[in-house]
Amino acid sequence: MSWIPNIPVPSVNSADNVYFSDVVGNKDDDENGTSISSHVFKTDTHDHAAAKVYPTMAVGATVTKSALAWTLGALSVVVPAGTIPDNFDIHGINFDSVPDNGVYEIVLYAGPSGSQVEIGRTRFTRTAATDIELESPFMCQIQAPHTEIWAALAGSNTSATAIVISLRYHMY
């Protein structure tokens, strides 16, 4: 096979982009790279990694909204720091208990106390005719291992409603 050119293979997760092979990537590129191989790895892992729930086999995290309409309540820890050992992203928010009717907006944040950054939000409604124990689809960027996840809640009603949530996520 002497007619096949000897193309140098880049190092794992290389960002050099000097040669075509740098753009294509290394077969061991992972979610931290920028090559085509890295993007294929992320897409495959995103679509096929086993779903996980936090907390698993336990009561979810309580998040309480402000008693004022459309005002975020206090931040609540949903996933403590050091809990998820690998890179991860969140695919859904499970609303395990929503006792009061209303339209709600929940915001998720990542980072240590005092340095939280918003990673996404979603809206849901509970009416007198239905319960809201469901999962809302959610998307965010890949989070680093051991990242602490927080939530804050706002809504249309004027009660300090406390809801219980859990998260569906997967690791890379």
Domains of the chain by residue range: 1-48, 52-171
Q: Report pLDDT for 38.
A: 86
Q: 52-171 maps to which CATH number?
A: 2.60.120
The mean per-residue pLDDT over the stretch 121-150 comes to: 88
Query: Which tokens is 80 given?
Result: 């403590």
* Residue 84 banded pLDDT, cuts 50, 70, 90: very high
CA atoms within 13 A on the CB side of 17: 6
Residue 9 has pLDDT above 70, yes or no: no
Confidence of residue 139 (pLDDT cuts 50, 70, 90): very high
At 135 the pLDDT is 85
Pairing of strands 135-137, 117-126: unpaired
> Can you tell me the distance from the alpha carbon of 107 to that of 150, in angstroms, rounded to the nearest whole number?
8
Asked if 61 and 150 touch (Cβ cutoff 8 Å), the reply is no
Strand bridging mode 76-79 / 149-155: antiparallel
**More confident of the two residues 10 and 172:** 172
